[in-house]
Chains A and B, each alone.
Chain A
Amino acid sequence: MKNNFSKITAISFSVWKESVRNKGLFTLIFVFLLILLSSHIISAAASINSDRILQTMGLFVFGMFGILTNIYLGTSLIQEISEKRLYIILVRPISRTSLLLGKFSGTCLVLLSVFFAASGVWLFILYINQVPITLLHFLTLFFLLGEWIILASASLFFAVFTTPLLHGLFLFAFAFFGHYSKDLILYSTAHSNIFIKKTLLCLYYFIPNLELINFKGAMLYNEAISLGNIASGFLLVVLWTLILFTGSGIVFSKIKLL
């Protein structure tokens, strides 16, 4: 058990080192920070509600970059599988699930690093624009990170069996429908065709309702968030991460690595 844990952490730190030394990821972070900084300029040009513009734009950028960073990191796993680069690791006494766990925790470490850097910049921008920073800001950021983690597990799931292009498309669709999953229920009840009705309903159950962890509105309008909402949001992050990771583990243990 202890031995297995040290193997997982060894892979995890290697993934982290590999990513932070990669110029591609730095370019992505640089663009991320540049857009965050540009929100400062755009909000300054607005005559009214400049605070809200600043915050909305910042959070939108966070959402987009969660998807893009995960697509970028997931693609590297696809390449490692398709180019048989994982052979040299899998020939060692390590199970495929442990390898995947190492990869996932490494990806989460990278996401944490990017997220903390970007959060720092964003909060600094809010501070110099004299926007009052409340607990709600931190709570919103915390659940945005939760969304990034769910996306990381979804990215891992898609990465073990698709191509880079499909992985990107699936992940984007996953995030998109995740934020509109309640609408799927609405469309389902409104539609008369039984096939479409059931398909939309299935889609609703197969995709997490990411709006449950979206507290941007509450943050912008300074509304209180109930403990129940926080707990259900936390549960959603944990459960969907577990479900998607287990799915990835099952698929990865079955696929032929040829």
Chain B
Amino acid sequence: MKKLLPALKWENICFSVNTGFFMRQSKILHDIDLELHRGKILGLIGANGAGKTTTLSIGAGLIRPYQGSVTVHGIPISSIKIKNRIGYLAEVQYPFRHLRLVEWLFLLGKLSGMDKNELNQQVEKILNVFELEELNQKFLNILSKGQLQRVSLAQTLLHKPDILILDEPMSGLDAYWRRQVTAFLKRFKNQGGAVVFSSHVLTDIKEIADSIACIEKGRIKWISDTDSLPDSLTPPEEIKGFEEILFSKEYI
């Protein structure tokens, strides 16, 4: 039987940036190997600056690694044709602050190559699903963080992708929308979609993901199924030196 190719595959990815006056090379990612399969959700965890966002950006084809490759259903990510199969949620959600919500969605739909009728219908549905109808004529720069996050989630689904790459999808959402997004991602997965997302909230990852990859200092520390998480994930009971940086005891 023919083996299905991974929906998204990071193969031996190394990435570096040049920093400082002498533009010294600083390695951010080392030999990242990850596979995301259809009907699966992969969660990325790691401390701030561990390399989660960079891994996701490379997976979305936004930045090029100096070594290794990313493929989408076996096709290199550099191919423009494959980009419509990816829905990407970024940390910063919009470049045009003075566009109306509906104008922004129409722009992204046009960039995805959707025709007018299809786009009209899809925008209407998306606005309805994310309860954004009342905000559709509002300018993006006046929306709250949570509303923007919903807009951002809406744009990831606008062109009907089968792979979602989500950087902190729960960020800024209230309890109701966290539940809604959790339910939605599970449904997306059950219909054969593939999702990779990063989060700092372990409960989110445990609830949504099928497997978890921990990134530490630009390397994959471990990959595990959600059911068999290692003990190292329990938080430390005390933080050394924390009391020394607190306010003066005289105030108490």
Contacts and interface: CB of A to CB of B under 8 A. Distances in A.
Interface of A: 3, 6-7, 10-11, 14-15, 17-18, 21-22, 80, 83-95, 256-258
Contact of A87 (B57, B81, B86, B112): B57
A6 to B, nearest CB: 6
B143 interface: no
A258 B111 contact: no
Contact of A10 (B17, B95, B107, B155): B107
Contacts of A88: 88, 90, 92-95, 108, 152, 155
Contacts of B81: 93
Contact of B83 (A10, A86, A91): A91
A85 B99 CA distance: 14
Contact of B92 (A18, A21, A83): A83
B98 A91 contact: no
A83 B95 CA distance: 9
B94 A7 contact: no
B84 to A, nearest CB: 5
Residue among B84, B103, B107 with most chain A CB within 10 A: B107
Given A85-B95, A92-B84, 12 more contacts: A6-B110, A10-B106, A17-B99, A18-B97, A88-B94, A88-B95, A88-B108, A91-B83, A91-B88, A91-B90, A92-B108, A93-B113
A18 B88 contact: no
Interface string B71-114: 00000000011011010101111111111000100111011110
30 contacts: A7-B113, A10-B106, A11-B107, A11-B111, A14-B99, A15-B96, A17-B98, A17-B103, A18-B98, A22-B98, A80-B95, A84-B92, A85-B94, A85-B95, A86-B95, A87-B57, A87-B88, A87-B92, A88-B88, A88-B94, A88-B108, A88-B152, A89-B111, A91-B90, A92-B83, A92-B111, A93-B111, A94-B80, A257-B62, A258-B57
Given A83-B92, A92-B108, A258 B83 contact: no
A94 B110 CA distance: 10
B224 to A, nearest CB: 28
Interface residues of B, number: 36
Interface string B173-197: 0000000000000000000000000
Contacts of A95: 80
5 closest A-B pairs by beta carbon, nearest first, are: A85-B95, A21-B98, A92-B111, A10-B110, A93-B83
A247 B90 CA distance: 28
Contacts of B159: 92
A258 B54 contact: yes
A78 to B, nearest CB: 12
A91 B127 CA distance: 21
B41 interface: no
A90 B64 CA distance: 13
A91 B61 contact: yes
Contacts of A11: 107, 111
A115 B108 CA distance: 30
B45 interface: no
Nearest to A254: B64
Given A14-B99, A93-B83, A258 B107 contact: no
A18 B107 contact: no
A158 B113 CA distance: 30
A236 to B, nearest CB: 33
A256 B61 contact: no
A157 B97 CA distance: 23
Contacts of A6: 110
A175 B1 CA distance: 67
B90 A84 contact: yes
A258 to B, nearest CB: 6
Contacts of A18: 96-99
A256 B64 contact: yes
